[in-house]
Copies of this chain bind each other. A is one copy, B any other.
Amino acid sequence: MITEIIGYSAAVVGTSLMLPQVIKSIKTKSVGDLSYVMVIVYVINCILWLTYGILLNAWPMILCNALALIISFIQLGLKIRYSDSTT
């Protein structure tokens, strides 16, 4: 029971991880201090976990990582857009 609660909490926290960063990047329009590699690795991370979820047919995992993938793509888009404007 405790194990399940911790597991679901971890999944929810993991999914929403990049959301505060997306909000901050939209507000400040400044992404210079963000590592490009980190943002790209996060996208790859979401794709791998999503694929793993699909292979296991694990719907909570698929749902969480599909959401996280969308958030990670938004962050990547913000990084590309605002990095261009500062150069």
Whether A38 touches B14, Cβ cut-off 8 Å, given contacts A6-B55, A55-B6, is: no
Copies in the assembly, this chain: 2
Q: Size range of the interface on A?
A: 35 or more
Q: Which of B25, B32, B52 contacts A30 (CB 8 A)?
A: B32
Q: Are B3 and A56 in touch, CB under 8 angstroms? A: yes
Instruction: Return chain B residues, CB-CB under 8 Å to A67.
Output: none
0 or 1 for each of A4-23: is its CB under 8 Å from B? (1 = yes): 00110110011011111101
Interface of A with B (CB < 8 Å)? Answer: 2-3, 6-7, 9-10, 13-14, 16-21, 23-25, 28, 30-38, 41-42, 44-45, 48-49, 51-52, 55-56
